[in-house]
Amino acid sequence: MKPTPKTFHVKSFGCQMNVYDGERMGELMAAQGMTATDDANAADLVVLNTCHIREKATEKVYSDIGRLRKHGKDPMIAVAGCVAQAEGAEIVARAKVDVVVGPQAYHNLPELVAQAASGNAALDTDMPATAKFGALPARRKVGPSAFLTVQEGCDKFCTYCVVPYTRGAEISRPFDTIIDEAKALVDAGAREITLLGQNVNAWDDAAGNGLHGLIHALDRIEGLHRIRYTTSHPNDMREGLIRAHAEIGKLMPFLHLPVQAGSDRVLKAMNRSHTRDSYLRILDRVRAVRPDIALSGDFIVGFPHESDAEFEETLSLVDAVGYAQCFSFKYSPRPGTPAAEMTDGFVPAEVMDERLQRLQAHLNRDQAAFNAATLGKRCTVLIERKGKLPGQMLGKSPWLQSVHLTTDAQIGDLVEVDIVRADPNSLAGMERMRVAA
């Protein structure tokens, strides 16, 4: 039996939605009177908010539990997130943790912690649509750039992916609750809001307004200066959303639209339901209305049976697009997914390594070129934190590049800068004027 915790620490792994969920769990525990601590080893309760997307991410949770047991103060351990959803009671059996709570059930965390304090391991992996949002405390204190989950789950069932199993079916949060939360975030200090969803551009309401309708409504919130959204699926890229990139000044010129691979045969085996060409045509339409848009994507190399020639098609797609930044991964078989059964086509580790290196060389080259092309441009920067040097502040350009500048502007200020230096991973800006302080 462990005493009722007084202090807690939340550690989030994986995607931005986990960051959002982690913040909300923190707010929930603070509302119960617990105090947050930055030091996991000093906390009475540690929440590991886990990621199941690749094997490496999953294994991290077990090594973290081991480390906490060794260096921590024998805390109560709660495993939350997608590993909790996927492995459920197995985690209690394997690692003797106190609480296991899935991504749709974390509003019940206080009760689960109370149950664990009374000596019984507590498990909740129910998936009641959007119930949790209504049960969470209001947003009070956030940084200048905040996340807001508007959509969860996925019905696409790409053959490599666990998300449809861990996050459930696609659901959209109701319009009004999103607008209310956005206003609360702005009141709490947010200048930029990134709308989150596994398929964020599948967001819709009964009236069929689509994500662009929601963005138009957010555009009217005074004090909100920037809007972003991620992650989108090519098949949900509606005309209205594309046009929104031309119509709405607050909508930042950035689109994360994963393609995963460049070969139609591989895309079909992945069950992506778009082709190389249909994907490229979407990007053409987006670029037609917003020529400066920064494009981003995700790639998987070494999907089962991927041949050398098929991998070359991924490289040629990358060369054709010219991405501003991307994420790229080696295929990782996930239990329960169709691709994990394709064992006769598994690509050897050294081939995957080589493909990933080659892909990343192309992506790094294009990122450096994209950054170089911003040299001399004038743009706004939202200041997010202090830099390492005295007087230096760090923020983001509209195209999501990191920009450092010397300024007396404060966190949360928007400044207009000239880009005076472009490096492969960041830019330097020279302040021209304060846009909003």
Interface ranges with ligand 5AD (CB under 6 A): 53-54, 160-161, 258, 260, 298, 300, 329, 331-332, 334
Build a one-symbol-per-residue string for 79-98: x at contacts with ligand SF4 by CB under 6 A, - elsewhere.
--------------------
Q: Which listed residue (61, 99, 161, 200) binds ligand SF4 by CB under 6 A?
A: 161
Min dist. Cβ of residue 293 to ligand 5AD (A): 19
Distance CA 67, CA 47 (A): 14
Distance CA 310, CA 323 (A): 20
Nearer to ligand 5AD, 198 or 374 (CB): 198
Distance CA 397, CA 245 (A): 16
Is 15 annotated in some ligand binding site? yes
Nearer to ligand 5AD, 11 or 334 (CB): 334
157 makes contact, choosing from ligand SF4, ligand 5AD, none, with CB < 5 to 8 Å by partner type, with: ligand SF4
Min dist. Cβ of residue 238 to ligand SF4 (A): 16
One-letter amino acid identity for 217? Answer: A
SS (H, E, C) 236-304: HCCHHHHHHHHHCCCECCEEECCCECCCHHHHHHCCCCCCHHHHHHHHHHHHHHCCCCEEEEEEEECCC
Min dist. Cβ of residue 162 to ligand 5AD (A): 7
Distance CA 334, CA 159 (A): 10
Specify whether the CB–CB gap between 43 and 72 falls below 8 A: yes
Min dist. Cβ of residue 40 to ligand SF4 (A): 29
Specify whether the CB–CB gap between 62 and 25 falls below 8 A: no
355 is an interface residue for ligand SF4 by CB under 6 A: no
Neighbours of 311 (CB within 10 A): 23
Min dist. Cβ of residue 401 to ligand SF4 (A): 25
Number of separate helices (H) and strands (E) present in the chain: 14, 19
Specify whether the CB–CB gap between 333 and 279 falls below 8 A: no
Stretch touching ligand SF4 by CB under 6 A, among 126-134, 159-167, 366-374, 422-430: 159-167
Is 379 annotated in some ligand binding site? no
| Residues 228-267 contacting ligand SF4, CB under 6 A | 233
Distance CA 99, CA 80 (A): 8
Min dist. Cβ of residue 64 to ligand SF4 (A): 24
233 makes contact, choosing from ligand 5AD, ligand SF4, none, with CB < 5 to 8 Å by partner type, with: ligand SF4
State both tokens at 356: 């990933």
Strand pairing category for 254-256 and 294-301: parallel
164 is an interface residue for ligand SF4 by CB under 6 A: yes
> Per this entry, what is the length of the chain?
437
Task: Count CA atoms closer than 13 A to 64's CA, side-chain side.
Answer: 23
For Cα atoms 30, 32, 34, give the angle at the middle one, nearest 5 degrees: 55
How large is the C-alpha radius of gyration of the chain? 22
143 is an interface residue for ligand SF4 by CB under 6 A: no
Nearer to ligand SF4, 299 or 370 (CB): 299
198 is an interface residue for ligand SF4 by CB under 6 A: yes
Min dist. Cβ of residue 88 to ligand 5AD (A): 20
54 is an interface residue for ligand SF4 by CB under 6 A: no
300 makes contact, choosing from ligand SF4, ligand 5AD, none, with CB < 5 to 8 Å by partner type, with: ligand 5AD
329 makes contact, choosing from ligand SF4, ligand 5AD, none, with CB < 5 to 8 Å by partner type, with: ligand 5AD
One-letter amino acid identity for 411? Answer: I
Min dist. Cβ of residue 241 to ligand 5AD (A): 19
Specify whether the CB–CB gap between 264 and 276 falls below 8 A: yes
Distance CA 10, CA 1 (A): 21
Size of the site for ligand SF4 (CB under 6 A): 10
334 makes contact, choosing from ligand SF4, ligand 5AD, none, with CB < 5 to 8 Å by partner type, with: ligand 5AD
15 is an interface residue for ligand SF4 by CB under 6 A: no
Min dist. Cβ of residue 396 to ligand SF4 (A): 24
With a CB cutoff of 8 Å and minimum separation 6, the contacts of 75 are 2, 5, 40, 43, 44, 45, 46, 68
Residue nearest to ligand 5AD (CB): 298
Distance CA 314, CA 4 (A): 53
314 is an interface residue for ligand SF4 by CB under 6 A: no
Distance CA 197, CA 147 (A): 10
Token pair 């139609």 in the structure block, residue: 264
Nearer to ligand 5AD, 81 or 395 (CB): 81
Is 161 annotated in some ligand binding site? yes
Is 326 annotated in some ligand binding site? no
Binding residues for ligand SF4, per CB under 6 A? 154, 156-158, 161, 163-164, 198-199, 233
Which residues define the annotated binding site?
15, 51, 82, 154, 158, 161
Which residues define the annotated binding site for [4Fe-4S] cluster?
15, 51, 82, 154, 158, 161
